[in-house]
Amino acid sequence: DTAVSQTPKYLVTQMGNDKSIKCEQNLGHDTMYWYKQDSKKFLKIMFSYNNKELIINETVPNRFSPKSPDKAHLNLHINSLELGDSAVYFCASSQDRARGYTFGSGTRLTVV
């Protein structure tokens, strides 16, 4: 009964490959997010969807493309992976501004 689940937990891949990370939440939240945590642990928002509509799109290379088939899912597809994409990617969801986020456990992406 995990609230926000991400798969895979670990992902090791070669430069130039295309990969996807999946996220699902069973909390009934309307809004979902992708954050990137770099090697210095800094959290940077990438995207946010509200009821399948893109509402936040930060300055992220267009190799990154989010997809939300329904409000319970927000997937992240990355094309032509680069070494600098290595990081931990967190999915999160929230319901309203008086509440915080519920985070997934993260996906550690390593590009070699």
Partner 1 sequence: AQSVAQPEDQVNVAEGNPLTVKCTYSVSGNPYLFWYVQYPNRGLQFLLKYITGDNLVKGSYGFEAEFNKSQTSFHLKKPSALVSDSALYFCAVREMHRGSTLGRLYFGRGTQLTVWP
Binding test (CB under 8 A) with partner 1, winner from 25, 29, 32, 48: 48
Strands 107-111 and 10-13: parallel
- Say whether residue 27 binds partner 1 (CB under 8 A): no
The site for partner 1, by CB under 8 A, has a size of: 26
Cβ contacts of 17 within 8 Å, gap of 6 or more: 80, 81
Residues 70-99, interacting with partner 1 (CB under 8 A): 90, 92, 96-99
The correct pick among 42, 54, 79, 82 for binding partner 1 (CB under 8 A) is: 42
Neighbours of 110 (CB within 10 A): 14
